[in-house]
Amino acid sequence: MTATRGLEGIVAAETKISSIIDDTLTYVGYDIDDLTENATFEEVVYLLWHTRLPKKDELAELTKELAENAEVPQAIFDQFKSYPLDTVHPMAALRSAISVLGVFDSEADEMSPEANYRKAIRLQAKIATVVTGFSRIRKGLEPVAPKPELGYAANFLYMLHGKEPAPIEIEAFNKALVLHADHELNASTFTARVCVATLSDVYSGVTAAIGALKGPLHGGANEQVMKMLSEIGSLDNVESYIQTKLDNKEKIMGFGHRVYRKGDPRAKHLREMSEKLTKLTGKPELYEMSVKIHDMIVGQKKLPANVDFFSASVYDSLGIEHDLFTPIFAVSRTSGWIAHILEQYANNRLIRPRAEYVGPGMQKYVSIEER
Ligand X SMILES: CC(=O)SCCNC(=O)CCNC(=O)[C@H](O)C(C)(C)COP(=O)(O)OP(=O)(O)OC[C@H]1O[C@@H](n2cnc3c(N)ncnc32)[C@H](O)[C@@H]1OP(=O)(O)O
Ligand Y SMILES: O=C([O-])CC(=O)C(=O)O
Minimum distance of ligand Y from residue 174's CB (angstroms)? 17
Binding at 7: pick from ligand X, ligand Y, none (beta carbon under 5-8 Å per type): none
Q: Which residue, 36 or 155, is less far from ligand Y as judged by CB?
A: 36
Q: Which residue, 202 or 305, is less far from ligand Y as judged by CB?
A: 305
| Single-letter amino acid code for the residue at 224 | Q
* Rounded CA Rg of the chain: 21
Assess 186 for contact with ligand Y (CB under 6 A).
yes
Measured CA angle at 273 (ends 38, 340), to 5 deg = 55
d(CA 286, CA 232): 10
Minimum distance of ligand X from residue 76's CB (angstroms)? 26
Centre a 10 Å sphere on the Cβ of residue 6 and count the other Cβ atoms it contains.
Answer: 9
Pick the binder of ligand Y from 119, 183, 214, 294 (CB under 6 A).
Answer: 183
Binding at 253: pick from ligand Y, ligand X, none (beta carbon under 5-8 Å per type): ligand X
Q: Which residue, 96 or 306, is less far from ligand X as judged by CB?
A: 306
Measured in whole angstroms, the distance separating CA 349 from the mean position of its chain's CA atoms is 26
Size of the site for ligand X (CB under 6 A): 18
Which residues inside 297-336 make contact with ligand Y, applying CB under 6 A? 306-307
d(CA 121, CA 277): 31
Q: Which residue, 219 or 265, is less far from ligand X as judged by CB?
A: 219
Q: Which residue, 146 or 219, is less far from ligand X as judged by CB?
A: 219
Measured in whole angstroms, the distance separating CA 183 from the mean position of its chain's CA atoms is 10
Kindly write out the interface string for residues 283-312 of this chain, putting x where it contacts ligand X by CB under 6 A and - elsewhere: ------------------x-x--xxx----
Assess 6 for contact with ligand X (CB under 6 A).
yes
Minimum distance of ligand X from residue 293's CB (angstroms)? 11
Which H helix or E strand runs over 312?
Answer: helix 307-317
Concerning whether 269 is annotated as a catalytic residue, the answer is: no
Assess 9 for contact with ligand X (CB under 6 A).
no
Concerning whether 257 is annotated as a catalytic residue, the answer is: yes
Q: Which residue, 7 or 115, is less far from ligand X as judged by CB?
A: 7
Which residues inside 196-235 make contact with ligand X, applying CB under 6 A? 217-219, 221
List the alpha helices (DSSP H) in 85-197. 90-104, 113-138, 152-161, 167-180, 187-196
Contacts of 228 (CB under 8 A, 6+ apart): 241, 252, 253, 254, 293
Q: Residue 116: helix, strand or coil by DSSP?
A: helix
Which of these ranges, 44-52, 162-170, 202-210, 252-260, lies near ligand X under the rule CB under 6 A? 252-260
Assess 138 for contact with ligand Y (CB under 6 A).
no
Centre a 10 Å sphere on the Cβ of residue 57 and count the other Cβ atoms it contains.
Answer: 8
Pairing of the two strands 18-21 and 30-31: unpaired
> Taking Cα atoms as reference points, which of 259, 230, 229, 246 lies closest to residue 298?
246
Q: Residue 20: helix, strand or coil by DSSP?
A: strand
| Single-letter amino acid code for the residue at 169 | E
Catalytic site residue from 183, 257, 269, 340? 257
Catalytic annotation, residues: 257, 308
The footprint of ligand Y (CB under 6 A) covers 183, 186, 258-259, 306-307
The footprint of ligand X (CB under 6 A) covers 6, 217-219, 221, 251-258, 301, 303, 306-308
